[in-house]
Amino acid sequence: MRLFHFEYFIFYLSLMGLIPINTRADTYQIKTEHIYFSALIDNKSYRLEAMIYTPLDNRTQHSLIIMTHGRHGPLPKVDEHEVFHYQSLCKALAERGYLVMMLVRRGYGNSEGPDSEFLDTPEESGLAGAKDIRGAINYMITNSGITKDRIVIIGQSQGGWVSLASSTLDINGIRGIVNISGATNFGLAKGKSFRSFEVESALENSAKYFGTICRVPALWIYAENDNHSPDAVNRWFNSFIKAGGKGKLIIKPPYKDNGHAIVNEPDLYIDDIINFFEEIGFRNTN
């Protein structure tokens, strides 16, 4: 028998308007909408799942954030609750006036399509997921309430590497990307540990590749006790910058017993994200 988690019960009550999502006086209330939409990827249409977080701030247009998720190992089980993850971060951003789409990529959650992201190299795996990001943006900009030239992509773990890959695509309107605890599963790493020389070298080469062709600035956020060491992350970031990438790396103090999960506590890094938004001119509009 499947148990219904309490957090999902509370979230559904908020969707029904029975409890408020936010009660702080200094921020906006939020409307949420669980949607499915059609995305064209490699000339094929896929039905993708998403959650939309809209601030109730009386603006006619909003800057858009595409948030996307990680992955649990080389052969992950499908998590039908994927779309409900990252609620704390999505709400924190929407409370500040940004419209947020939490995107579930192909092969995850209740989105259609095969698992397309377990390819030989980190850059191939990241670029496969970036196609879903492009499809989501193409869908969202058909909404008259979106400011089409103010878009940011945020991802965690595998989604962080997908966001880095997305920075290399020619997508109008992207101002920058945020990589939180980014890394990726890839075929040639199967059976090797996170911190093996082969895995970390491949990620360093991938970061260098993205740096040579990235189009927008990138904010990298990691905790000291992430799956990958600060030394490795610094090497990846330096390779990205030396190859031509623009951005900033912030390494936070250790987070509990698993720094890879720092995304779950946005109070620890939300100011870094908002400061980055100011630096790249990513603001809300009327």
Instruction: Assess if residue 285 is contained within a domain.
Output: no
- What local confidence, expressed as pLDDT, does residue 285 receive? 66
The C-alpha atoms of residue 245 and residue 261 are separated, in whole angstroms, by 26
Contact 202, 192 (CB under 8 A): no
- Other C-beta atoms closer than 10 Å to the C-beta of 28 total 19
- What local confidence, expressed as pLDDT, does residue 284 receive? 78
- Other C-beta atoms closer than 10 Å to the C-beta of 194 total 16
What CATH number should be reported for the domain holding residue 51? 3.40.50.1820
Instruction: Assess if residue 286 is contained within a domain.
Output: no
Q: Which residues, given as ranges, of the chain have pLDDT below 70?
A: 1-26, 285-286
Instruction: Assess if residue 24 is contained within a domain.
Output: yes
Distances (CA, A) of 111 to 47, 49, 50, 91, 122: 6, 5, 9, 22, 22
Instruction: Assess if residue 144 is contained within a domain.
Output: yes
**pLDDT tens sequence across 125-139:** 999 999 999 999 999
Residue whose pair of structure tokens reads 């491949």 in the numeric block: 202
**pLDDT tens sequence across 259-273:** 999 999 999 999 999
Instruction: Assess if residue 284 is contained within a domain.
Output: no
Instruction: Assess if residue 28 is contained within a domain.
Output: yes
The four Cα atoms 81, 82, 84, 87 give a dihedral, to 10 degrees, of 150
The C-alpha atoms of residue 224 and residue 229 are separated, in whole angstroms, by 7
- What local confidence, expressed as pLDDT, does residue 283 receive? 84
Instruction: Assess if residue 109 is contained within a domain.
Output: yes
Instruction: Assess if residue 56 is contained within a domain.
Output: yes
What percentage of the chain's residues is helix, strand, coil (to nearest 5)? 35, 25, 40
- What local confidence, expressed as pLDDT, does residue 169 receive? 95
Q: How many domains does the chain have?
A: 1
Q: Which domain holds residue 152?
A: 6-279
- What local confidence, expressed as pLDDT, does residue 23 receive? 39
What are residue 221's phi and psi, to 5 degrees?
A: -130, 125
